């Protein structure tokens, strides 16, 4: 009843104050993009997120003819060998060649329909199937560095009189596939040229020419060399928006190839795994598969059994009988191949009482985010706090409101501390930020901190030879 309204009798007023319980968002949802030509198109329409809740029968609809074609059937088998995981699958069409298929995997926004395609469809998974993926992969498309591709186009003369951006033609150099577009400056000249597709196979610098646009005189030169994998590069932005991590397959060549691949990236969201694994197929034949699906399955299983704050390193991988190249390993040996790869932030697979994921490190250039489990802990904690405060949006900013939010977050941090997910944390209100002007504008700030649980990557025992215990002989 409204304040001041007359009432002769009794009433009950529902008081909606008090802190709210914060629940942890799902951490182990896997998002995968790939091809499956023999899929049931009704069950797996192209460029559409489809949810599989750990069901092999549902995954079987990706391979209706049993031929194991495309990249998705084997990948789903690898994931489900290791965990009954929740998986968001986006199927794309195979192109006329590898370049066309890679373009389909990368996707984007369809100009005609406005719908997300390829990797970008993962961004719509929450709306479409109700869950957001936290572990992203595209096996078969993340391993290849683009060798001898166009790496830069430098404008040497902007030209004059352009009323529209001229078309850019890249020819010669013995390569193929490079495309680009021009952007104008305010004076009607070409300001820069943006590479849309770096192409491949260039043994010499291609020529760059401009046509159309109403002007003349623009000129540019091209450079070529090795570039990072475009699928992984595209995935980073998507992972940032989803607060997800990327399991990227290395090139499956030699150690130097794997290390060079890893140095293409500096993101805390990329976890590189090399080499491929050996599995036995349904016909009893040994074959190699990309490791990323099985590692994603290991992460999902570790989340479910131990918690999202655990590292996947030193966890057993199911369903493999070897690695495509020998990874020598001796516990405590700094010169083993496994240790040398780990030192360069390349995760690998060792055989020590079973095949195990071996490596903790992301590609981050910032040591603060060097460990994969720390990155994931921050993501899950931040998203949990964010998504559980929809109730607070548009409430009146009162002392009770502020106290309720602070206590709710502190209660959640205490809970995470009690279960070992973090070492501790605290939420508070900074009065210097929450000025009267900010409050009048409807803005309120809450700060919180936490300390994650770091993996014991290096354990040192200090051995001392002493004669103190000789006396025990004669005791």
CATH number for 67: 3.40.50.11780
What is the per-residue pLDDT across 227-268, written as a single tens digit (0 to 9) for each?
Answer: 789 999 999 999 999 999 999 999 999 999 999 999 999 999
Measured CA to CA, the distance from residue 116 to residue 48 in angstroms comes to 8
pLDDT tops 70 at residue 66: yes
Q: Name the token pair of 342.
A: 């780990």
Q: The domain containing residue 314 runs over which residues?
A: 30-143+231-369
Q: With respect to residue 377, please indicate whether it lies within any of the assigned structural domains.
A: no
Whole-number Å distance between alpha carbons of 417 and 413? 6
Q: Is residue 14 pLDDT above 60, yes or no? A: no
Q: Is the pLDDT of residue 147 over 80?
A: no
Q: Phi and psi dihedrals of 384, rounded to 5?
A: -65, -45
Q: What mean pLDDT is predicted for residues 342-358?
A: 97
Q: What is the mean pLDDT of residues 435-450?
A: 95
pLDDT per residue over 270-279, tens digit each? 999 999 999 9
- Whether 372 contacts 338, CB under 8 Å: no
Rounded distance between C-alpha atoms, residue 248 and residue 271, angstroms: 6
pLDDT at 136: 98
d(CA 78, CA 194): 38
Residue 381, sorted as left (phi over 0), alpha (psi -120 to 50) or beta, turns out to be alpha
Confidence category of residue 311, pLDDT binned at 50, 70, 90:
very high
- pLDDT: which is higher, 69 or 145: 69
Q: What average pLDDT does the chain have?
A: 92
Overall size of the chain counted in residues: 475
Q: Is 80 exceeded by the pLDDT of residue 146? A: no
User: Looking at the domain assignment, is residue 1 inside a domain?
Assistant: no
Whether residues 411 and 284 share a domain: the answer is: no
Verify that 245 and 116 share a domain, yes or no: yes
* Residue 8 reports pLDDT greater than 50: no
User: What sign does the CA torsion over 12, 15, 20, 25 have?
Assistant: positive
Is residue 302 pLDDT above 70, yes or no?
yes
Identify the residue with better confidence: 174 or 424.
424
Based on the domain organization, do 299 and 313 belong to the same domain? yes
Q: How many domains in the chain?
A: 3
Is residue 21 scored above 70 in pLDDT? no
> What pLDDT is stored for residue 90 in this prediction?
98
Q: Are residues 300 and 348 in the same domain?
A: yes
pLDDT score at 97: 87
Q: What's the mean pLDDT in 293-300?
A: 97
Residue-wise pLDDT for 182-217, tens only, equals: 999 999 999 999 998 888 878 889 999 999 999 999
Residues 131, 43 share a domain: yes
Euclidean distance between CA atoms 205 and 170, whole angstroms: 10
Q: How far apart are CA 228 and CA 342, in angstroms?
A: 20
CA distances from 146 to 108, 165, 432 (A): 20, 28, 50
Q: What pLDDT is recorded for position 17?
A: 60
CA distance 20 to 454: 29
Same domain, 436 and 295: no
Helix (H) or strand (E) holding 125: helix 125-129
Name the β-bridge partners of 152: 223
Q: Decide: 270 and 232 in contact? Cβ < 8 Å.
A: yes
Of 206, 227, 248, the residue at which a domain comes to its end is 227
Whether 15 shows a pLDDT value over 70: the answer reads no
Residue 205 lies in a domain: yes
Question: What pLDDT sits at residue 10?
Answer: 62
Residue 468 has pLDDT above 60, yes or no: yes
Kindly state the percentage of the chain with pLDDT values over 70.
Answer: 95
Residue 149: the pLDDT is: 85
φ, ψ dihedrals at 2, nearest 5°: -65, 145
Pair 207, 272 in one domain: no
* Bridge partner residues of 222 (DSSP): 153
Domain-embedded: residue 223: yes
| 46 and 170 within one domain | no
Domain endpoint, select from 190, 212, 227: 227
Judge if 305 and 156 occupy the same domain. Answer: no
Burial of 274 from C-beta contacts in 10 A (0-12 / 13-18 / 19+): buried
pLDDT of residue 337: 95
Instruction: Report the pLDDT value the prediction gives residue 226, as an integer from 0 to 100.
Output: 77
Predicted local confidence at residue 112, as pLDDT: 87
The verdict on residue 163 lying in a domain is yes
Is there a domain that residue 22 lies in?
Answer: no
Domain assignment present for residue 356? The answer is: yes
* pLDDT higher at 22 or 450: 450
Residue 122 within any structural domain of the chain: yes
Do 72 and 137 have their domain in common?
Answer: yes
- What does residue 178 show for φ and ψ, rounded to 5 degrees? -75, 130
Phi-psi region of 199 (alpha: psi -120 to 50; beta: other; left: phi over 0): left
Task: Give the helix/strand (H/E) hosting 178.
Answer: strand 176-184
- Domain boundary (189, 211, 227) is at 227
Report, as an integer, the average pLDDT of 382-396.
Answer: 92
Claim to verify: residue 242 and residue 96 sit in the same structural domain: yes
What band does 224 get if pLDDT is binned at 50, 70 and 90?
A: confident
Closest CA to 302 of 370, 366, 240, 377: 377
For residue 3, the model assigns a pLDDT of 56
Q: Same structural domain for residues 265 and 414?
A: no
411-444: buried (b, 16+ CB within 10 Å) or exposed (e) per residue? ebbeebeeeebbeebebeeeeeebeeeeeeeeeb
């Amino acid at each position: 009843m409204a304040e001041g309204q007359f009432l002769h009798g009794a009433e009950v007023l529902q008081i909606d104050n008090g802190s709210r319980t914060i629940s942890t968002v799902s951490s182990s949802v896997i998002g995968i993009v790939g091809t499956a030509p023999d899929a049931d198109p009704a069950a797996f329409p192209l460029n559409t997120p489809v949810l599989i809740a750990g069901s092999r029968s549902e995954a079987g609809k990706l391979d209706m003819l049993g031929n194991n074609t495309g990249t998705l059937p084997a990948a789903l088998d690898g994931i489900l060998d290791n965990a009954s995981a929740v998986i968001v699958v986006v199927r794309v069409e195979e192109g006329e060649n590898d370049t066309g298929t890679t373009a389909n995997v990368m996707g984007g926004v369809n100009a005609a329909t406005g719908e997300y395609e390829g990797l970008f469809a993962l961004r719509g998974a929450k709306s479409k199937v109700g869950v957001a993926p936290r572990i992203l992969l595209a096996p078969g498309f993340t391993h290849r560095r683009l060798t001898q591709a166009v790496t830069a186009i430098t404008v040497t003369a902007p030209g004059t009189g352009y009323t529209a951006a001229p078309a850019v033609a890249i020819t010669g150099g013995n390569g193929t596939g490079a495309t680009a577009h021009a952007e104008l400056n305010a004076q009607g000249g070409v300001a820069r040229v943006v590479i849309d597709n770096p192409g491949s196979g260039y043994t010499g610098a291609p020529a760059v020419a401009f046509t159309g646009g109403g002007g003349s005189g623009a000129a540019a030169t091209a450079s070529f060399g090795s570039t990072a994998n475009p699928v992984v590069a595209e995935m980073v932005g998507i992972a940032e928006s989803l607060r997800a991590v990327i399991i990227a397959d290395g090139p499956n060549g030699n150690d130097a190839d794997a290390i060079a691949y890893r140095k293409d990236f500096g993101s805390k969201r990329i976890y590189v795994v090399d080499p491929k694994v050996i599995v036995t197929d349904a016909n009893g034949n040994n074959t190699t598969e990309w490791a990323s699906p099985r590692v994603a399955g290991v992460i999902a299983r570790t989340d479910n059994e131990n918690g999202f704050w655990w590292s996947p390193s030193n966890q057993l991988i199911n369903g493999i009988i070897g690695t495509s190249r020998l990874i020598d390993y001796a516990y405590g040996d700094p010169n083993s191949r496994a240790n040398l790869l780990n030192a360069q932030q390349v995760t690998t697979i060792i055989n020590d009482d079973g095949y195990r994921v071996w490596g903790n490190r992301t590609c981050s250039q910032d040591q603060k985010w060097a460990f994969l489990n720390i990155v994931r802990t921050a993501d899950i904690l931040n998203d949990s706090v964010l998504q559980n405060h929809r109730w607070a949006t548009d409430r009146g900013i009162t002392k009770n409101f502020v106290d309720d939010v602070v206590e709710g977050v502190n209660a959640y941090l205490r809970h995470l501390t009690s279960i070992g997910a973090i070492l501790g944390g605290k939420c508070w209100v900074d009065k210097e930020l929450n000025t009267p002007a900010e409050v009048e504008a409807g803005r309120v700030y809450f700060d919180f901190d936490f300390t994650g649980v770091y993996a014991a990557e290096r354990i040192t025992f200090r051995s001392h030879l002493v004669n103190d215990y000789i006396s025990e002989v004669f005791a």
